[in-house]
Amino acid sequence: MNGATTSGELRAHNRVRLLRAVHDCGASRTRSQLTRDLGLARGTASVLVAGLADDGLLHEEPAPEHARGRPTQIPGPHPLGPLALAADIREDAWELAACELGGRVTIIAVRPHDGTPEDALVPLGEAMAAHRAQAGYRVIGAGVALAGPVRHGGLVDIAHLGWRSVDVPSLLGVETPLIVGNDTALAALAEARRGRLRGVRVGLHLHVDFDLGGVLVVDGRPLGGASGTGAEFGHMPLTGGDRPCPCGAIGCWGMDVGANALLRHVGLAYGGGRGREQAEQVLATSQEAVTANAGALGRGVAALVNAHDPEAVTLSGHGRELLERAGDALQAACEPALMAIRRDRPPRIEGSALGWRGSLLGAMESVFDAFLTPEGLGRWRKNQPDQARDTPDRENVMHSTPKR
């Protein structure tokens, strides 16, 4: 049941359904396919598409190939349609993108930082403000992914960088709706929408960068916990270690998996978001360090599989590289640690379909989730200038696609 009680409410509900379908399929399905998918009458679908085009939300183009008869149209993003700003703030740099309905991505800025909140966030806020000023009403919000737990809508702690209760919205200072989230949880959201957890009822996603984060995904949604800080499997004592973690706990799994662990294994300095290039060199040259990392990853995966019974486990960041370079060691560590009832049908363990881009795409998805509602479309229609309803040439559309 959709809760609509009037014809106007039903139309608003179907407008959202149609836009959501276009977004989720990557603007790849024809109008007739979408009509069937959504169970709409052809006349209803035609009226909806026309109205959404008038509102500057959709634009149709002929399908590359079609059977005889009337040309098939593919609904996609309007050239002057909504844009979501998405940022992925890693420990040593950030990346900012503008994203269209359907998921097309254009990277608009990349910048290293020194690991301090001010050097990371203030320039990012300035870049967001500059693009907001350029794109105007088209910017419907901004999503930001950070490598640490996020509380109360914007306070972040990144233990290995020394960030404690950093007020992200205040330092960014952006004048647009802002969503701040954990990078692993957002990567998991993207994997559920556009990757290998799509259609999976219960999945486990692990993201490995300088350290490790993980989250359970149920029915396509990462479980955030009571305060929104639930994506912290990396801070569980899953591998029997006893090293103190910067988070304040002892023996965290993330101390044994990730770039910091690779650097420590070969005796190089680590911590503070430094050493990405050296860690990638270790990944490429030290099989001993890679095998140790993969083994620790596998033992922790087994513990989480025993606890949560997922259908699939996906690995992003360095996790995918560890699987590719030392998959046998990962499996050899995982299988003996599984309960006997899990060994008969263990979940598949796969590298992410989205690579390093998952957190950025998840930040985008969080913005479109907030926008694709009757209220969000109502605000868009109210804020859109009349001249935006004219459709310019498609040359003005951004065509960059997510890197895989």
pLDDT for residue 153: 75
Q: What is the pLDDT of residue 229?
A: 85
Q: Are 21 and 5 in contact (CB under 8 A)?
A: no
The H or E element spanning position 28 is: none
Region 37-41 average pLDDT: 96
**Predicted pLDDT at 404:** 35
pLDDT band for position 228 (50/70/90)?
confident
What are the CB-based long-range contacts (under 8 Å, 24+) for 125-131? 125/171, 125/172, 125/173, 125/174, 127/96, 128/85, 128/87, 128/96, 128/172, 128/174, 128/176, 129/173, 129/174, 129/175, 131/85, 131/96, 131/98
Q: Do domains 7-77 and 198-353 have the same CATH topology?
A: no
> pTM for the whole thing?
0.92
Q: How far apart, in whole angstroms, are the C-alpha atoms of residue 220 and residue 177?
A: 23
> What pLDDT was estimated at residue 2?
65
Q: Give the residue extent of every domain in the chain.
A: 7-77, 83-186+357-393, 198-353
Average pLDDT over every residue of 176-204: 97
Whether the per-residue pLDDT at 67 is higher than 80: the answer is: no
What is the per-residue burial (b if ≥16 Cβ within 10 Å, else e) of 274-303? bbbebbeebbeeeeebbbbbbbbbbbbbbb
Summarize pLDDT for 272-320 with one digit per residue, the tens: 899 999 999 999 999 999 999 999 999 999 999 999 999 999 999 999 9
Q: Does pLDDT of 264 surpass 60? A: yes
d(CA 192, CA 147) in angstroms, rounded, equals 19
Place of tokens 């605000």: 379
The CATH architecture of the domain made up of 83-186+357-393 is 2-Layer Sandwich (3.30)
Predicted confidence at residue 403, as pLDDT, reads 38
Please tell me the CATH code under which domain 7-77 is placed. Answer: 1.10.10.10
In tens, the pLDDT along 329-372 reads 999 999 999 999 999 999 999 999 999 999 999 999 999 999 99
Q: What is the pLDDT of residue 66?
A: 56
Least confident of 23-27, 113-117, 375-379, 397-401: 397-401
Which fold, 198-353? Nucleotidyltransferase; domain 5 (3.30.420)
Cβ distance 92 to 274 under 8 Å? yes
Summary mean pLDDT of the chain: 92
Per-residue tokens: 162: 């020394």
pLDDT at 91: 94
Segment (H or E) for 156: strand 155-158
pLDDT level of residue 396 (50, 70, 90 thresholds)? very low
Question: Is 165 a residue whose pLDDT tops 90?
Answer: yes
pLDDT at residue 159 is higher than 70: yes
